[in-house]
Structure 1
Amino acid sequence: MKLQYDRPSRRWTEALPVGNGRLGAMVFGGPEVERIQLNEDTLWSGSPHNRDNVNALEVLPEVRRLLAEGKFAEADQASKKMMGPYTQSYMPLGDLFLKFDHGGLVKSYRRSLHLDEAIARVEYRVGNVTYTRELFASFPDQAIVLRLEASQPGMLNLHARLESPLRYETGVELDQIVLKGFAPERVDPNYYETDRPIVYGNPETTETMRFEGRLGARLEGGRIECNRDGMHILGATAVTLCFSAATSFNGYDRSPGREGKNPTIEAASHLEKALRLPYEVLLQRHVQDHQALFNRMELRLGKAIAPSDLSTDTRIREFGARDPGLVELLFHYGRYLMIGSSRPGTQPANLQGIWNQETRPPWSSNWTLNINAEMNYWPAETCNLAECHTPLLDLIGRLAINGKKTAEVHYGAKGWTAHHNSDIWCQTSPVGDYGHGDAVWALWPMGGVWLCQHLWEHYAFGRNETFLREQAYPVMKEAALFCLDWLHDDGTGRLITSPSTSPEHKFRTADGLSGVSIASTMDMSLMWDLFTNLIEAGGILGVDESFREELESTRSRLYPMQIGSYGQLQEWSEDFEDEDRHHRHVSHLFGVYPGRQLTRRQTPELMAAAESSLDRRGDGGTGWSLGWKVGLWARFGNGNRALGLLSNLLQLVEDDTEENYHMGGVYANLFDAHPPFQIDGNFAATSGIAELLLQSHQGYIHLLPALPEQWSTGFVKGARARGGFEVSIVWEHGKVKEAEVEASSGGLCQVLADSPLEVEIEGRLVQTHTDSSGIIRFDTVRGGIYKLRSKEQP
């Protein structure tokens, strides 16, 4: 349950992450000079502005005309006139540097990250003195806490300073080091070959974000001195350093300069409260809070084959997914990162969670809505971290407000829409610098539709009807209203979207490559999913009967999925040739996973075509793409193929050189390598492993639906299924031995396993009914714990 190394990190992707959802730190573990890189989740460039393109609506008829005439390349170019600006970027706060006076003759060095405690540790010896460090990010006390100890009295001498890559100044207040700065006014992204510089404004006259970080100490022995060079701790035996930070962010629709909060008040308050508590109390409160979430699940996939003292990077390089213990570690690491980057009241996990050291972060470290932001939250419900889902659910509500204006201005439509990128200011217009971007990723108004799936899933797993009625349903309905206006008849009675893209993947025509067409499979699948969820939600709530009937009628007229010349599920309404057969996006397979439109039972022919599509894509890809394919092969019931993809993912990426760019894997610290680092692959791997062991999207709980042969014996505890059920499974020789189902809300439970099961509660057999497909049905009571045992057991 830990990552471990026998040397300090040499680069950022070897450092170890800690986080409390709001504050993040990357711990390098240098013995003579320690670097701790720092983040705060609201520190972004820019400020709220109207980013809609007022010319978009008048361009729309021309684009539709060109598409109707089959002039795809011309439509592609014309649609550039519908774009808005780029989003803003997530910024690094700074670094805490610690310089130790003991010199660099270090022996017995170890550093580690303990996932079950969320503590990064460093230990080494200089002469006869052993030095230890423990660092964690406390959610209860909203501070990063670093404990340093020497094994002999008075032997701890260190010098601490704070720096930032942004504009800043430092000072001293009451034995505290204070760093104050401000974020850029604008950061254009670094991934569209732009060479435009970062733009800073005058913080006294602009709307720029301000931030503050504070470092304080609680000594045991020795003395402390603070001056313009930093904090100096001399002759101590132990010291507890606490760091707090805050920004002037005061809401997505308020200027952080003119209407912002005073970051000093929040940063000082958190630091003072933390410094009043003994280290043992801070530690206890942190561990208790973390384990309340982390300890909900257990997983055993077999006996670990790597030596227990092997460093994690060597373990990845030499064993990979052949080691069940390393797969377990990858699974729990995703849960750890979720807890560390997304807690109630924080911003959602972005492309890098909350961990970023770059002022020009890859892809702005924003929320990319055409797969990556959604992928971040795939394990939230299945892996028993529903509370960590709430930051995304709250963001969706904010996007729906801005997206209502975008729907009207860009498309003359009701409801709300969002496109493929957003930021802390909740941009919903298509990015692309007003025409310099590419329509294949920019012109995609389905971001809101996909996000609404998360609202439904949160209800489906938790069965909280108040949440459904007050938060989810209104936002889902408004997204559907946009769809109803965006769809139009193709002249044959079928409803299509135009223009339409399949995110980031182009097709070949006689006129060259194009990304814009009509009625992409993903558009139709997303709308089918939203309409289906809304119809079901309306029935549960007993509202909007006529609206449900309209949705049912519209759903029946959606342009149908097509099977192409290779036996594949077509990605577009026409059987175009792919620009890249092995493209990382598999958007047209949304209906398989994470959707529920395509299944073996209900749509066998289309499911087979979808499987053919995935097979044609191959088993390569960037890190997050490999993670998505794990989940897809789980839905296809092919656990061995999924394990092969986990093997591809668990390959060590040493650096971000050009030749590695399209080859996914993991870095030494198990961060997913797109490359560069994107956290979505970590979350997709965790959710994909969960899908191999438990599925519930078809209305019943399927135990071990795609168990790889290599994991023949094991157990999982605390997984969640739709319907308000928590499930544990024990299996031997590849078959279910026993299971446990806890019903949080009661009602009918349906279970499918690989052999007949008997059900009991409190030692009494429960009456069950088994249908012709082998699904066992039984009634449950709220809070009941039901034991399921295989009848084939001796």
Structure 2
Amino acid sequence: MPFAVKAQDPFKLWYQQSAEKWTEALPIGNGRMGAMIYGGVQEEHLQFNESSFWTGMPREYARKGASDYLGVIRKALLDGKQKQADSIAEKHFMGLKTKDDSAYAIEKKQWLSTVTKDLSFATVGYNDASWKTMTLPTINGWELAGRESLDGSVWFRVKFQLPKEWVGKTMKLNLGRIRDMDFTYVNGKLVGSTESTTIKRSYTIDANLLKAGENTIAIQVLNFYDKGGFIGIKEEKKVFVVYPSEQNPENGIDLPLEWKYFVQNQAPPTVPQYQATYQPFGDLYFSMKGAQAISNYKRSLDISTAIAHTEYESNGVFYQRDYIASAPKDAIITRFTANQLGKISLIAKLGTIHPQYQLKKIDKQTIGIFIQQNYGVLKGVAYLRVNALHGKLQVFDNRIELDGADEAVFYLVAATSYKNYQDVSGNPAAICTQLLSGLNTQSFDALVKQHTKDYQQLYQRLQISFGRDNTRIPTDQRIKSFTPEKDPQFFA
């Protein structure tokens, strides 16, 4: 039998600073769409997803005749022949991959031949002034250095100074681990190449390749799938160092950690996979105009209502944002308000980590993003519509600009071309249009009421209390100081 908990906001998570990373953001979701809310003041960020957005394509999954080998595999295991059993299972028993390994090997060889032809990027005199910079190493892949969803061929370049006393000596170059393959050049000459995600790169540089003063290192990194780039090492050892081969790395020259880089090719052949992988869909950004001198900041998520909030004061004005992921309306909805009229001014944009996408103005209140995956056939579409009270509204292909509004409500909907595992012919744009049409007649307060009623039918079936709590303390501090004796309600 349900029983009530009497406490001040006993099921509210709240913080006094915005989220810096994904795991600190606050989640909302309706079963089909979800979002992680960062709560930034100058720039708000909602990373959102949709349940059917996966890699892959309709295909055959089962290997014909696989059951004929079950007895053979069992016997090999009983005889202690693990490797033999694994080999038979891989060849005859496991499900089918997205493509045959032998076909992939041919495609990979052809692609490697193409991207390794142009060696001008490795020459000493190459002008890399227009290249971007990246700080190395990127321990969890270059995806976390602003190159999400990047697979392919990337060139890196850096210069270092060699002391006169080391001229004529054979040197060592330590680079740590690189995913997946590298061709490393010093002053235009190849000094080593490795294909491995685990081997730490350590190459020998012949004495005649180096000169006193400035020398150039150029590295072509080939990433076929998943994380890419210079991923460092786990041990406390020096990497990105040049040193005489007879000495220790600790005595060497530390290479600069800011490297120039250039994306040469983003279309490696697709690596064969047994299973599809779930994909992030997109990002929604709100850039707030004139936000400064911030005080009384708070972001929160009320688990009992599934409503998130961000609030703060700036220049004597109190601002509030409210967020819901409505299941009845199948949309993520955000409202911006202030305690003074005409204070809502912002720019809203859609983005995605997927490199193949298009931004488009849909109508005088709506923009859309159209996404095509790199590693699958599914298409994704998201629409963002705004209803603003007063103010000046401008809608472009890539953004919505709002100035001097009293209030603004944004509606985010998303869909894919997925119908079922054998049919991906759906029309996501038509679905988004239909979803938005059901949001035109209700106020935000009415949508919140409908959302809360729907959510609490499930949530309120059971509530539990373990006694006193420390809800007056921000959640991150509450976690750090938690003990079962002082804050037993935290278990609930």
The residue number in structure 1 matching 2:75 is 65
Q: What residue ranges of structure 1 are gaps of 5+ in the alignment?
A: 187-207, 329-794
Larger strand proportion of the pair: 2
Q: Does residue 1:162 correspond to 2:350, yes or no?
A: yes
Q: Deviations over 1:709-746 (max 9, x none)?
A: xxxxxxxxxxxxxxxxxxxxxxxxxxxxxxxxxxxxxx
Map residues 113-262 of structure 1 onto 2, 5 A cutoff: 113-166=301-354, 167-174=356-363, 175-186=365-376, 208-254=377-423, 256=424, 260-262=425-427
Please report how far the alpha carbon of residue 261 of structure 1 lies from its aligned counterpart in structure 2 after TM superposition. 1.5
- Looking at structure 2, the residues matched to 129 and 248 of structure 1 have their Cα atoms a distance apart, in angstroms, of 44
| Residue 48 of structure 2, aligned match among 38, 56, 63 | 38
Q: Does residue 1:324 correspond to 2:335, yes or no?
A: no
Q: What residue ranges of structure 2 are gaps of 5+ in the alignment?
A: 1-10, 98-273
The residue number in structure 1 matching 2:457 is 292
Q: Deviations over 1:345-391 (max 9, x none)?
A: xxxxxxxxxxxxxxxxxxxxxxxxxxxxxxxxxxxxxxxxxxxxxxx
- Looking at structure 2, the residues matched to 44 and 320 of structure 1 have their Cα atoms a distance apart, in angstroms, of 41
The residue number in structure 1 matching 2:18 is 8
Please report how far the alpha carbon of residue 61 of structure 1 lies from its aligned counterpart in structure 2 after TM superposition. 3.4
**Aligned partner of residue 55 in structure 2, secondary structure:** coil
**Aligned partner of residue 464 in structure 2, secondary structure:** strand
- Looking at structure 2, the residues matched to 3 and 165 of structure 1 have their Cα atoms a distance apart, in angstroms, of 28
Larger helix proportion of the pair: 1
Q: Is the 8 A contact 1:218 1:240 kept in 2?
A: yes
Q: Deviations over 1:657-700 (max 9, x none)?
A: xxxxxxxxxxxxxxxxxxxxxxxxxxxxxxxxxxxxxxxxxxxx
Map residues 55-94 of structure 1 onto 2, 5 A cutoff: 56-81=66-91, 82-84=93-95, 85=97, 86-94=274-282
**Aligned partner of residue 300 in structure 1, secondary structure:** coil
Please report how far the alpha carbon of residue 321 of structure 1 lies from its aligned counterpart in structure 2 after TM superposition. 4.4
Map residues 353-752 of structure 1 onto 2, 5 A cutoff: none
- Looking at structure 1, the residues matched to 80 and 370 of structure 2 have their Cα atoms a distance apart, in angstroms, of 56
- Looking at structure 2, the residues matched to 68 and 143 of structure 1 have their Cα atoms a distance apart, in angstroms, of 54
Please report how far the alpha carbon of residue 49 of structure 1 lies from its aligned counterpart in structure 2 after TM superposition. 0.8
Q: How many aligned residue pairs are there? A: 301
Q: Is the 8 A contact 1:242 1:275 kept in 2?
A: no
Please report how far the alpha carbon of residue 232 of structure 1 lies from its aligned counterpart in structure 2 after TM superposition. 0.6
Q: Is the 8 A contact 2:361 2:398 kept in 1?
A: no
Q: Is the 8 A contact 1:46 1:185 kept in 2?
A: yes
Larger radius of gyration: 2
Q: Deviations over 1:60-82 (max 9, x none)?
A: 33323323434345434433322
- Looking at structure 2, the residues matched to 75 and 269 of structure 1 have their Cα atoms a distance apart, in angstroms, of 53
| Residue 478 of structure 2, aligned match among 285, 307, 315 | 315
- Looking at structure 1, the residues matched to 310 and 79 of structure 2 have their Cα atoms a distance apart, in angstroms, of 65
- Supply the AA of the counterpart residue of 1:310: I
Q: Deviations over 1:635-670 (max 9, x none)?
A: xxxxxxxxxxxxxxxxxxxxxxxxxxxxxxxxxxxx
Map residues 768-787 of structure 1 onto 2, 5 A cutoff: none
- Supply the AA of the counterpart residue of 2:452: V
- Looking at structure 2, the residues matched to 321 and 11 of structure 1 have their Cα atoms a distance apart, in angstroms, of 28
- Looking at structure 2, the residues matched to 288 and 61 of structure 1 have their Cα atoms a distance apart, in angstroms, of 55
Q: Is the 8 A contact 1:23 1:38 kept in 2?
A: yes
Please report how far the alpha carbon of residue 272 of structure 1 lies from its aligned counterpart in structure 2 after TM superposition. 2.4
Please report how far the alpha carbon of residue 218 of structure 1 lies from its aligned counterpart in structure 2 after TM superposition. 1.1
The residue number in structure 2 matching 1:277 is 442
Q: Deviations over 1:398-447 (max 9, x none)?
A: xxxxxxxxxxxxxxxxxxxxxxxxxxxxxxxxxxxxxxxxxxxxxxxxxx
- Looking at structure 2, the residues matched to 97 and 62 of structure 1 have their Cα atoms a distance apart, in angstroms, of 56
Q: Is the 8 A contact 2:367 2:398 kept in 1?
A: no
Please report how far the alpha carbon of residue 185 of structure 1 lies from its aligned counterpart in structure 2 after TM superposition. 3.4
- Looking at structure 2, the residues matched to 162 and 42 of structure 1 have their Cα atoms a distance apart, in angstroms, of 19
Give the % identical residues: 31
Q: Is the 8 A contact 1:35 1:97 kept in 2?
A: yes
- Looking at structure 1, the residues matched to 385 and 80 of structure 2 have their Cα atoms a distance apart, in angstroms, of 66
Q: Is the 8 A contact 2:292 2:315 kept in 1?
A: no
Higher relative contact order (CA 8 A, sep 6+): 2
- Looking at structure 2, the residues matched to 293 and 34 of structure 1 have their Cα atoms a distance apart, in angstroms, of 30
- Supply the AA of the counterpart residue of 2:339: S
- Supply the AA of the counterpart residue of 2:57: S
- Looking at structure 2, the residues matched to 103 and 240 of structure 1 have their Cα atoms a distance apart, in angstroms, of 19
Bigger mean CA offset, 136-145 vs 59-68:
59-68
- Looking at structure 2, the residues matched to 63 and 135 of structure 1 have their Cα atoms a distance apart, in angstroms, of 54
Q: Given the superposition, is the C-alpha separation of residues 300 and 154 from structure 1 closer, same or farther in structure 2, using an over 3 Å criterion?
A: same
- Supply the AA of the counterpart residue of 2:481: E
The residue number in structure 1 matching 2:263 is none
- Looking at structure 2, the residues matched to 102 and 5 of structure 1 have their Cα atoms a distance apart, in angstroms, of 23
| Residue 97 of structure 1, aligned match among 277, 282, 285 | 285
- Looking at structure 1, the residues matched to 84 and 428 of structure 2 have their Cα atoms a distance apart, in angstroms, of 50
The residue number in structure 2 matching 1:106 is 294
- Looking at structure 2, the residues matched to 25 and 31 of structure 1 have their Cα atoms a distance apart, in angstroms, of 17
- Supply the AA of the counterpart residue of 1:311: P
Please report how far the alpha carbon of residue 48 of structure 1 lies from its aligned counterpart in structure 2 after TM superposition. 1.6
The residue number in structure 1 matching 2:260 is none
Please report how far the alpha carbon of residue 267 of structure 1 lies from its aligned counterpart in structure 2 after TM superposition. 0.6
Q: Is the 8 A contact 1:245 1:267 kept in 2?
A: yes
- Looking at structure 1, the residues matched to 483 and 35 of structure 2 have their Cα atoms a distance apart, in angstroms, of 27
Q: Is the 8 A contact 1:46 1:184 kept in 2?
A: no
